[in-house]
Amino acid sequence: MTSLLAPRSPFDPPPLLHTILTQPVKSLIRIADFAISCLRTPPTRGSPPIRIVCISDTHCLQPEHIPPGDLLIHAGDLTNAGTPAEIQTQIDWLNALDFQHKVIIAGNHDTYLDPRSRRTLAPADRNAQLDWKSLHYLQHSSVTLPFHSGNRDLRIYGAPPKSRPAAGKNSHSSTPGAVTPGPKLSPTILRS
């Protein structure tokens, strides 16, 4: 029976009845997804979107073009060697960018930011102080940031990799319980 309903060639889309008979679970999931997307309400008009720009792996470079947004997240590897001087230079650059909020999470090359890896730095660099200016550095912590005159809040949790000195790439493990409890969210899903 299903062979009668099969498409004439592999390039033709199969008829709906053929798909339902040959792939019932997949068909049910697609129908349910379509029904749910039709029932979804549009976003509330009073809630402007928050534009998030995420960059990483700048390794002491300072790209000239960063897309505009409300929140900038630098997700690791600000530097090459991880010295306080390199990190401070990157902090100064990020601070000068035009974003309402800026968040930094360390990467495995940002040695100074991991207290266990500081011993690999020169003795003079081990106890240096950084001026974070208006940036939020997250190290197994979270921050709640207000947007659009306090009408919207966004909580971000940052967990840098747990690097071992000189271990390099993929030298981190996950942290159990990294996500902190908070209010239930009703996300808006955008489809292209």
**pLDDT: is 74 or 125 the higher one?**
74
How far is C-alpha 174 from the geometric centre of its chain's CA atoms? 16
pLDDT value for 90? 96
Predicted confidence (pLDDT) per residue in 48-60, tens digit: 788 999 999 999 9
The predicted model scores a pTM of 0.65
Percent of the chain with pLDDT over 90: 40
As a 3-state breakdown, the chain gives helix, strand, coil percent values, each rounded to 5, of: 25, 15, 60
pLDDT value for 119? 83
CA–CA dist 88, 131 (Å, integer) = 7
Place of tokens 């600000």: 78
CATH number of 52-158: 3.60.21.10
The pLDDT of residue 160 is above 60: yes
> CB–CB of 70/52 below 8 Å?
yes
- Sorted by where each begins, the domain ranges of the chain are 2-39, 52-158
> CB–CB of 51/83 below 8 Å?
no
pLDDT value for 32? 92
CA–CA dist 64, 109 (Å, integer) = 22
Place of tokens 């010295």: 83
> CB–CB of 97/66 below 8 Å?
yes
pLDDT value for 166? 47
Predicted confidence (pLDDT) per residue in 93-149, tens digit: 999 999 999 999 999 888 888 888 888 888 888 888 999 999 999 999 999 999 987
The pLDDT of residue 78 is above 60: yes
The pLDDT of residue 151 is above 90: no
The answer to whether the Cα torsion of 61, 62, 64, 69 is positive or negative is positive
> CB–CB of 130/88 below 8 Å?
yes
List, in order, residues 6 or more apart from 114 with CB less than 8 Å away: 106, 160, 162, 163
Predicted confidence (pLDDT) per residue in 38-49, tens digit: 888 776 676 778
Residue 175: band (very low, low, confident or very high) from pLDDT cuts 50, 70, 90: low
